[in-house]
Amino acid sequence: DYKGQKLAEQIFQGIILVSAVIGFIYGYFTEQFGWTVYIVMAGFALSCVLTLPPWPMYRRNPLKWLPVQESGTEEKKAADRKPKRHSKS
């Protein structure tokens, strides 16, 4: 559903943003850029685990689909069509 997609996107962006800020601050104080990268990668992995699987919190508002049409209506439409005539070249 669309509300679940919006929630997943917000969670994903929030975790990435928080991990980037924490990683930058920690890397700045320790003067190690590697720790910044590790923390951001850990945030990315955590956000993937929380947002990629179809957890029940993302499926609270299911979409209502149109009912299936019978195949007889398609055959009727195909029979009503006139065949195309090819122009002579």
pLDDT digit of tens for each residue in the chain (89 aa)? Answer: 889 999 999 999 999 999 999 999 999 999 999 999 999 999 999 999 999 999 898 889 888 888 988 876 555 555 566 666 766 65
Residue 50 lies in a domain: yes
The alpha carbon of residue 81 and the mean position of all alpha carbons in its chain are separated, in whole angstroms, by 39
In a domain, 7, yes or no: no
| Whole-structure pTM value | 0.69
List CB contacts of 18: < 8 A, sequence separation 6 or more. 43
Residues with Cβ < 8 Å from 48, sequence gap 6 or more?
none
Report d(CA 51, CA 49) in Å as an integer: 6
Residue 74 lies in a domain: no
Residue 1 has a pLDDT of: 81
Range of the domain at 38: 23-58
Query: In this structure, what DSSP letter does residue 24 have?
Result: H
